[in-house]
């Protein structure tokens, strides 16, 4: 899969199935299940390292996990999070670290932030780096946000997120992750944009869906309200992954 393949799915209105992934074995299992996008997420800080937030995750760790995922699969598009502190200082800083992730095998990098990151997105896109934006709940800004709460609930907050999405698209973002926002807002942003949106707790109208792999398997100590345990009642992890892909494709998840 390339970003052109993802755009083709979007243009055909076929829901895009995405999951986070952190190692080669799960990358292979996700590929066999038909997952189209694998995100090497800094959520590994929570589910792999046992950290309270994603903030302690380092570039060295993201490179390591990207290399591991890329060894385990050949079909899905692999994108990797730029970790906290690796891109906020300047576009040049973002480019230097994005290059390292691309050299490790990533086909796209993801960064958090709205219109304030538009200059950085444009800088990366102009230099051959595909970019996925991320708005709504931004885990790297958890302390500023005051916790892991739904975003965009007021009219003014919803308008800001819509403006953020349009600014990132204009800057050259290829995909936009929408996290933990009201479903009607997820639909409104998706309808206004001409790039795919990948929802995580953003309603069923997004162009695709993503979950943290450990949430899908019911392994996370605290399950987000938008997550579903796909392993429950099934005989294997492979069955759970296939059930997730099928549910996304049939728009049965999220209900």
pLDDT above 70 as % of the chain: 100
Average pLDDT over residues 2-17: 97
Supply the pTM of this predicted model. 0.96
Nearest to 135 by CA among 58, 48, 200: 200
pLDDT band for 221, please (50, 70, 90 cuts). confident
What is the rounded average pLDDT of the residues 100-116?
Answer: 98
Looking at the annotation, which residues are catalytic?
A: 179
Q: Is position 67 within any domain?
A: yes
Would residue 74 count as lying in a domain? yes
Given this model, what pLDDT does residue 41 score? Answer: 98
- Summarize pLDDT for 234-248 with one digit per residue, the tens: 999 999 999 999 999
Band of pLDDT at residue 96, cut at 50, 70 and 90: very high
The pLDDT, as a whole number, for residue 255 is: 84
Q: Which residue range forms the structural domain that includes residue 142?
A: 3-249
In a domain, 158, yes or no: yes
The predicted-structure confidence for 175-189, as pLDDT tens digits, reads as follows: 999 999 999 999 999
Q: Give the CATH number for residue 118.
A: 3.20.20.60
Over range 182-206, report the average pLDDT: 98
Q: In which band, very low, low, confident or very high, does the pLDDT at 92 lie, cut at 50, 70 and 90?
A: very high
What's the rounded mean pLDDT across residues 189-218? 98
CA distance 72 to 9: 23
Across the chain, mean pLDDT equals 97
- Residue 255 located in a structural domain: no
pLDDT, average across residues 116-127: 98
Does pLDDT of 154 surpass 90?
yes
Asked whether residue 145 carries a pLDDT value surpassing 90, the answer given is: no
What is the tens place of the pLDDT at every residue in 21-49?
A: 999 999 999 999 999 999 999 999 999 99
How many domains does the chain fold into? 1
| Predicted pLDDT of residue 54 | 97
**Does residue 254 sit within a domain?**
no
| pLDDT attached to residue 147 | 81
């Amino acid at each position: 899969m390339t970003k052109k393949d993802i755009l083709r799915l979007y243009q055909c209105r076929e829901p895009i199935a995405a999951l986070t992934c952190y190692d080669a074995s799960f990358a292979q299992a996700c590929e066999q299940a038909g997952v189209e996008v694998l995100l090497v997420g800094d959520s590994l800080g929570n589910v792999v390292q046992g950290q309270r937030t994603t903030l302690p995750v380092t570039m060295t760790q993201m490179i390591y996990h990207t290399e591991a995922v890329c060894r385990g699969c050949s079909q899905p598009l692999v994108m990797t999070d730029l970790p906290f502190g690796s891109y906020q200082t300047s576009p040049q800083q973002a480019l230097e670290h994005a290059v390292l992730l691309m050299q490790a095998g990533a086909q796209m990098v993801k960064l958090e932030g709205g219109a304030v990151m538009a200059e950085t997105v444009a800088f990366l896109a102009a230099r051959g780096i595909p970019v996925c934006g991320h708005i709504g709940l931004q885990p790297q800004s958890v302390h500023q946000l005051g916790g892991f709460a739904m975003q965009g609930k007021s009219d003014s907050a919803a308008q800001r997120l819509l403006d953020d999405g349009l600014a990132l698209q204009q800057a050259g973002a290829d995909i936009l992750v929408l996290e933990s926002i009201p479903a009607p807002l997820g639909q409104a942003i998706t309808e206004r944009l001409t790039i795919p949106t990948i929802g995580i707790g953003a309603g069923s109208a997004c162009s695709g869906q993503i979950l943290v792999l450990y949430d899908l398997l019911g392994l996370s100590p605290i399950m987000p309200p938008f997550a579903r345990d796909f392993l429950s009642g099934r005989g294997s992890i492979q069955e759970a992954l296939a059930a997730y892909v099928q549910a996304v494709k049939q728009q049965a998840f999220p209900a």
